[in-house]
Amino acid sequence: MNKSNKLWRLHGGIHPAQMKELSNRTPIGQIPRPKEIILPLNHSNGAIATPCVKVGDHVNKGQLVATFNIPVATKIHASLSGRVTAIEPRIIAHISGLPALSIIIKTDDSDEESFLPKIENWSAMSNDQLISRIEEAGIAGLGGAGFPTQIKYRSHAPINTLIVNGVECEPYITSDDVLMREYSAQIIEGTLIALKMLSAKQALIAIEDNKPEAIAAITSELTRLSPSNIELRVIPTKYPSGGERQLIYILTGQEVGSGNIPASLGIVVQNVGTIYAIRQAIIDGEPLTQRVITLTGTAVANAGNYWVPIGTQIQHIIDATTPELIPHEVIMGGPMMGFDVPSTHAPVSKVTNCLLIPAKNELPRRSEDKACIRCGLCEQVCPVNLLPQKLYWNSKHHEWEQAELNSLFDCIECGACSWVCPSEIPLVQYYRFAKSEIKKEHVEKVKSDQARKRFEDRQKRLEKLALEKDAKRKARAAAAAKAQANKETDVESKLGDQAKADILASLARVKAKKPKTEQPPKDADTLRLAWESAEEVVLKAKNKLKIAETENTATVSALVTALGKLETRAKKAKEAWMTASTPNNNHDGESE
């Protein structure tokens, strides 16, 4: 890469009052142990971590308490020892003021620690082992985004340069500044570990020129160790030089394309706080349970930097430093990109770098916004080369498609445009609104596409079922018709040919005799003969049945039926003869 110390000039940017001397005059302090720790389980993408402790469990400092079952998330550790008193929704540090499910730990003074085993000789470990340790330690990007650190190291793109971001360009915030002053050796060590994990050639440590003490500390450490692959780059003070993409441009002159990540250029950017946390996790086995937080603003008495266990309530930090203070406003983050905390009972998180508690008139109040006068100042200060004024019109008039075409999603919400706007238009608020509306529309689109698919699949299934049902009904009808046809020939087909012939013959005979009985009176003798022959047939049939019973059971039932019929006929013939014989006598007598 570039061997010279050339720096590129960032487009735009602003120079707001630094206000850093409020909090960078004192070494990093400790705050008294909080009584309660609140560890929210929510993830920015909506996932909820699964707790691995129960209410009533005792937990040690550094003990794993919850994990996510998605890869892009960090593990959650108890930041102090104590007892889990509840797993319930609590207000967290989110602009919405809505509660999120959290693990509540009542702390005790046992101070037992459950750290990971120390790694003495990290250079002998494989990269995979080291990266797994980063994941186990729950390290997230401490610069503000909170991106799970292990993901950056598992990138498949070859990495050439590691940029250690100690720029800290936002006014008021000094947590990285004091960390570099006091822990420069650890930061250099962490940088070496990170270089190994990335297999990168060089590391650039970037610091703004408004932090001479930090620059001196890092320089003296670099002189002492003189590592060949780490260089310090002092960059001019300008907001927002500390943005990931902005810093890459300043140091290398390369721009990360829209929608791409720095790894596409072979670059990984890490905040100095994250580098320190990596060093602690590898060498001391310490999970990420505390961080340096700047407490500042003219309303607080003991402004400065403090080591704060993650999950400490903001109110506890205020009470410990400035009792009796009733803040009229607490900003988490800096004055440019921070947000008003909805409640001081919300806990601090891994990404909380600053708590700004300004006095009433400390920050410029936004007066009534006026009409846009098309002055174009916002365009001149935009560090991303966007057209803020156009985005403002698009957002105001809900022209989401146009806003996206004007690269709304490349806006880093640095607030430079709002800062310079002479009409005091809350531009960033418009962009945030537009972004969240577009995201909402996208979610709804996904949901409605899913519903459409399910609806159409259901229609298809119902049609298929109807067709199948119809086909089955037709098949059943055909089968029934066939069965009916078969039934008629069934009896005959079951009997042997001889038996069939016999039965047919006897039926024919009976039939032949039948009309005779109905005909005008026959003489008794004829009827008697008919009866006798019928009896004869019955007898024959009985014999047949007997044979069938001994030989073939299949025809028995048919024969039994046939025999029954023949017997009835024989009976009828007998009755006919009996009745005929009496009237015949009468008739004879009368005719005489």
Partner 1 sequence: MSILTAILVLLLLASLFGALLGYSAVRFKPEGDPVVAQIDALLPQTQCGQCGYPGCKPYATAIANGDAINKCPPGGMATVEAIASLLDVDIVPLDAETEDNPTQLVAVIREDECIGCTKCIQACPVDAILGAAKLMHTVIESECTGCDLCLEPCPVDCIDMVEVPKTIHSWSWTAPVSQNSEVKIIATDGDRH
Tell me the two tokens of residue 408: 């709304």
Cα-based torsion angle of the residue sequence 436, 442, 446, 449 in order, rounded to the nearest 10 degrees: 140
Q: Considering only residues 20, 94, 238, 390, which one is a binding residue for partner 1 as defined by CB under 8 A?
A: 94
Q: Considering only residues 72, 98, 471, 512, which one is a binding residue for partner 1 as defined by CB under 8 A?
A: 98
Which of 432, 574 has the CB closer to partner 1?
432
Site string for partner 1, 385-424 (x = CB under 8 A): --------x--xx-x-------------------------
Are 93 and 348 contacting, i.e. CB atoms less than 8 angstroms apart? yes
Tell me the two tokens of residue 569: 């006929």
Are 268 and 254 contacting, i.e. CB atoms less than 8 angstroms apart? no
CB of 74 to partner 1, least distance (A): 17
Site string for partner 1, 169-208 (x = CB under 8 A): ----------------------------------------
Of 121-129, 170-178, 433-441, 516-524, the window that binds partner 1 (rule: CB under 8 A) is: 433-441
Residue 92 touching partner 1 (CB under 8 A): yes
Which of 367, 586 has the CB closer to partner 1?
367
Residue 440 touching partner 1 (CB under 8 A): yes
CB of 99 to partner 1, least distance (A): 8
Contacting residues for 444 by C-beta, under 8 A, at least 6 apart: none
Tell me the two tokens of residue 392: 């403002």
Within positions 14 to 43, which residues make up the interface with partner 1, using CB under 8 A? 42
Are 385 and 11 contacting, i.e. CB atoms less than 8 angstroms apart? yes
What is the CA angle 293-299-304, rounded to 5?
A: 30
CB of 464 to partner 1, least distance (A): 14
Can you tell me the distance from the alpha carbon of 378 to that of 433, in angstroms, rounded to the nearest whole number?
Answer: 18
Are 31 and 322 contacting, i.e. CB atoms less than 8 angstroms apart? no
Are 411 and 391 contacting, i.e. CB atoms less than 8 angstroms apart? yes
Of 106-114, 350-358, 428-436, 468-476, the window that binds partner 1 (rule: CB under 8 A) is: 428-436
Sign of CA dihedral 126, 130, 135, 139: negative
3 state DSSP class of 185: helix
Of 9-17, 31-39, 181-189, 442-450, the window that binds partner 1 (rule: CB under 8 A) is: 442-450
Can you tell me the distance from the alpha carbon of 423 to that of 429, in angstroms, rounded to the nearest whole number?
Answer: 14
Question: Phi, psi (5° rounding) for residue 6?
Answer: -65, 140
Which of 42, 298 has the CB closer to partner 1?
42
Of 123-131, 241-249, 285-293, 439-447, the window that binds partner 1 (rule: CB under 8 A) is: 439-447
Q: Whose CA is closest to 287, among 122, 164, 163, 118?
A: 118
Tell me the two tokens of residue 590: 């009368």
Of 138-146, 192-200, 248-256, 372-380, the window that binds partner 1 (rule: CB under 8 A) is: 372-380
Residue 437 touching partner 1 (CB under 8 A): yes
Q: Whose CA is closest to 426, among 398, 388, 385?
A: 388
Q: Where are the beta strands (DSSP E) in 407-468?
A: none
Can you tell me the distance from the alpha carbon of 275 to that of 139, in angstroms, rounded to the nearest whole number?
Answer: 10
Which of 123, 367 has the CB closer to partner 1?
367
Residue 45 touching partner 1 (CB under 8 A): yes
Per DSSP, what are the bridge partners of residue 355? 295, 332
Of 258-266, 444-452, 484-492, 552-560, the window that binds partner 1 (rule: CB under 8 A) is: 444-452
CB of 55 to partner 1, least distance (A): 22
| Binding-site size, partner 1 (CB under 8 A) | 43
In the block, tokens 């078969």 appear at 486
- Residue 542's identity, in one-letter code, is K
Q: Considering only residues 449, 492, 525, 551, which one is a binding residue for partner 1 as defined by CB under 8 A?
A: 449
CB of 62 to partner 1, least distance (A): 27
Residue 456 touching partner 1 (CB under 8 A): yes
Which of 24, 406 has the CB closer to partner 1?
406
Task: State the pairing for strand pair 304-309/29-30.
Answer: parallel
Helix or strand run (H / E) with residue 383 = none
Q: Considering only residues 2, 302, 385, 448, which one is a binding residue for partner 1 as defined by CB under 8 A?
A: 448
CB of 411 to partner 1, least distance (A): 13
Distances (CA, A) of 501 to 45, 382, 495, 515: 88, 110, 10, 22
Q: Considering only residues 372, 387, 556, 560, which one is a binding residue for partner 1 as defined by CB under 8 A?
A: 372
Q: Considering only residues 328, 360, 442, 454, which one is a binding residue for partner 1 as defined by CB under 8 A?
A: 454
Sign of CA dihedral 573, 579, 585, 589: negative
Q: Considering only residues 88, 111, 213, 444, which one is a binding residue for partner 1 as defined by CB under 8 A?
A: 444
Of 66-74, 89-97, 272-280, 550-558, the window that binds partner 1 (rule: CB under 8 A) is: 89-97
Residue 371 touching partner 1 (CB under 8 A): yes
Residue 439 touching partner 1 (CB under 8 A): yes
Residue 116 touching partner 1 (CB under 8 A): no
Can you tell me the distance from the alpha carbon of 406 to that of 281, in angstroms, rounded to the nearest whole number?
Answer: 42
Residue 464 touching partner 1 (CB under 8 A): no
CB-hemisphere CA count at 13 Å for 28? 18
Of 301-309, 345-353, 366-374, 463-471, the window that binds partner 1 (rule: CB under 8 A) is: 366-374
What is the CA angle 466-471-472, rounded to 5?
A: 95
Residue 430 touching partner 1 (CB under 8 A): yes
- Residue 487's identity, in one-letter code, is K
Residue 50 touching partner 1 (CB under 8 A): no
Number of helices and strands (H, E) in the chain? 16, 17
Of 186-194, 429-437, 500-508, 573-581, the window that binds partner 1 (rule: CB under 8 A) is: 429-437
By the criterion CB under 8 A, which residues form the site for partner 1?
Answer: 42, 44-46, 92, 94, 96, 98, 100, 368-374, 393, 396-397, 399, 426, 429-430, 432-433, 435-437, 439-440, 444, 447-452, 454-459
